[in-house]
Amino acid sequence: MRMTNLFSQTLREAPADAEAMSHILLLRAGFIRQLGSGIFSYLPLAKRTLDKIEGIIREEMNAIGGQELSMPVVQPADIWKESGRWQELDEVLARFKDRGDHDMVLAMTFEEAVSDLVRGEIKSYRQLPQLVYQIQTKWRDEVRSRAGLIRVREFTMKDSYSLDVDGDGLDRQYRNHYRAYHRLFSRCGLPTVSVEADVGLMGGQLSHEFIYLTPDGEDMILHCPSCGYSANQEVAVSAKVEVEGEEQLELEKIATPGAETIEDLTRFLQVPESKTAKVVFLVGRFGERQEEADTDKLIVAVIRGDMTVNEVKLGHVTEALALRPASADEIAPSGAVAGYASPIGLKGVLVVVDESVTTSPNLVAGANEEGYHLKNVNYDRDFEADLVADIAAVEAGDGCSKCGQPLETSRGVEVGHIFQLGTRYSDSMGCTFLDSQGKARSVIMGSYGIGVGRLLACVAEQHRDEHGLMWPVSVAPFQVHIVALAKGEGAAQAASEKLYGDLKEVGVEVLYDDRRENPGVKFNDADLIGCPLRITVGERSLKKGEIELKLRGEGEATGVPVEEAVSHVRQRLAGLQAELDSAVVEVADYQD
């Protein structure tokens, strides 16, 4: 490709609202342009890299038995109502009506669509197992798009779906994906870690995220440097510090003027936070699947004062469709007083107690009266819970649930997510098959996703320096960038043209800067675009019978005889690919 023909231009500065470095560099290097909030066009350079990423994905999916198909992004709402997610999903699901007044959806995921295919195509156990996948556009109406391609509204994902007769088959396909994901991310030059994760709106029984660690990531990861335990903070568990056992004391009401927070209370009474009970009020939205009506209910979450409520865990425990903070008007009818609340004597609420509270005697809790608290509050004697569970958020320094050592935190970006769905969708949508005994059974499903545009952004974030992008050879838009330092129709121009043709003839992908620009502009743009290998053709080096080769990450160029240029280029590229391949290792399975 000649740069005089390239549909793109570099920018000296990125727009002021671009903050993430991947966003800034992809804009400046002419890879992407923004059309609207969370909506991007991918220019030819980006499209070439995306095609290579998708090629790697296809190779890995095909290697584990995948068959590619394509499902529509515009879908009838009926299938979403069948699965129950029409009710479960709120503003992020884009809904509209067609001209026939039918409810329609812009798909943000494809479990419903593939389930509809399955119930029409799969009839017998002899047709299983199966693995199908697609690379398709999605729409998610995000409240706030951020970080360029990291969180957008329109995006492309690889979705694969496994179909099995039993749990053993699902486990095999899940493990196959787990290993394949590690391979394909390595082949793209992106280091990732796998962590236990929340099943979220997908549902199911088990999931793992594949995280690119970066300080700018939106996910918080807890990991143990001693035993290797790792999990997203949404689902991480820890070894909770037990308080010393003591005899239950008599309940006592005390005045605590102005002590509306745990911090105020502990300072006033000179007690540790672990001797207090914290109450958090949330409103849960509940509703039966297949029904339009929803019901809001006040949830009272009780946890020890030295801990924080994890709303994701709380949502799973209560099976609420959604959670939101409760207002003062919503709290008042229960009999609770904000700032001085406890679960004692409340009515019409769902009380959820963290397991730590049940083993912590003589806590200080609110008296549900302004300016007063209760001392020596004990679970079972003074109040009971509708649900007891682990609803605590895990923080850095908490003990590992497996070995007890302190946990550490890192931030990261999710680039892949795999789920064991089980029969979550096949039950609700009637995806059954006849087993060997002629009995109808539900298809066992798994779902496995990769954000293609997000993967592009993370590779750009990982491979860059102060001058621009530094693409791995496996996904670079072009392998070689020729910079012609020609002032006219001279030797440099002729040599550049010949080299351009010779490299293309042997299958090397070449970006040829044939513009009438000064050398500084050309070198800056070459660094910004970030092709792995740069060739400089100038009058000075040609007088010595040479051209100059320079790897994007190296500081100095190497002189190479003109007649040996093609062979040297191919050797350098092969070396870069071999180096990348050597980093692709087979990982062990996840720990059950």
Q: Do 438 and 352 share a structural domain?
A: no
* pLDDT greater at residue 144 or residue 300: 300
What does the pLDDT look like over 324-363, one tens digit per residue? 999 999 999 999 998 999 999 999 999 999 999 999 999 9
The answer to whether residue 21 scores a pLDDT higher than 80 is yes
Give the pair of three-digit tokens for residue 15. 């727009």
Q: What is the pLDDT of residues 39-66, one digit of tens each?
A: 999 999 999 999 999 999 999 999 999 9
Provide long-range contacts, Cβ within 8 A and 24+ apart, for 50-54. 50/156, 50/452, 50/453, 50/456, 52/474, 52/475, 52/476, 53/188, 53/452, 53/455, 53/456, 53/459, 53/475, 54/135, 54/158, 54/452
DSSP state string for 221-265: EEE-TTT--EEETTT--EEPPPPPP-PPPPPEEEE-TT--SHHHH
Confidence bin at 292 (pLDDT 50/70/90)? very low
Domain membership flag for residue 314 = yes
Q: Are residues 422 and 533 in the same domain?
A: no
306 and 218 within one domain = no
Whole-number pLDDT of residue 288: 56
Query: Whole domain around residue 339: which residue ranges?
Result: 252-389
Q: What percent of the chain has pLDDT over 90?
A: 84
Same domain, yes or no: 92 and 129: yes
Q: Residue 520: which residues within 8 A CB-CB, separation 6 or more?
A: none
Q: Is the dihedral of CA 211, 214, 215, 217 positive or negative?
A: negative
Supply the pLDDT for residue 289: 44
What does the pLDDT read at residue 15?
82
Q: pLDDT by residue (tens digit) across 226-260?
A: 988 999 998 999 988 777 778 999 999 999 999 99
Q: Which of 364-378, 393-407, 437-451, 481-495 comes out lowest in average pLDDT?
A: 481-495
48 and 168 share a domain? yes
Same domain, 435 and 482: no
Percent of the chain at pLDDT > 70 equals 98
Query: Which of 324, 286, 281 shows the shortest CA–CA distance to 303?
Result: 281
Contact 466/521 with Cβ under 8 angstroms? no
Predicted pLDDT at 587: 80
Number of domains in the chain: 3
Residue 182 has pLDDT above 90, yes or no: yes
Structure tokens at 528: 């910004």
Q: In the predicted model, is pLDDT for residue 561 greater than 60?
A: yes
In a domain, 401, yes or no: no
The answer to the question of residue 40 being in a domain is: yes
Residues 193 and 133 in one domain: yes
Q: What is the CATH number of the domain that holds 499?
A: 3.40.50.800
90 and 133 together in one domain? yes
Same domain? 570 vs 455: no
Same structural domain for residues 440 and 545? no
- Torsion of the alpha carbons at 313, 315, 318 and 322, rounded to the nearest 10: 180
**What's the confidence (pLDDT) of residue 89?**
81
**pTM to 2 decimals?**
0.89
Q: Give the per-residue pLDDT at 592.
A: 58
The answer to whether residues 90 and 227 belong to one domain is: yes
Write down the pLDDT at residue 201: 67
290 band by pLDDT with thresholds 50, 70 and 90:
very low
Task: Look at residue 534 and tell me if it is in a domain.
Answer: yes
Pair (231, 289) in one structural domain = no
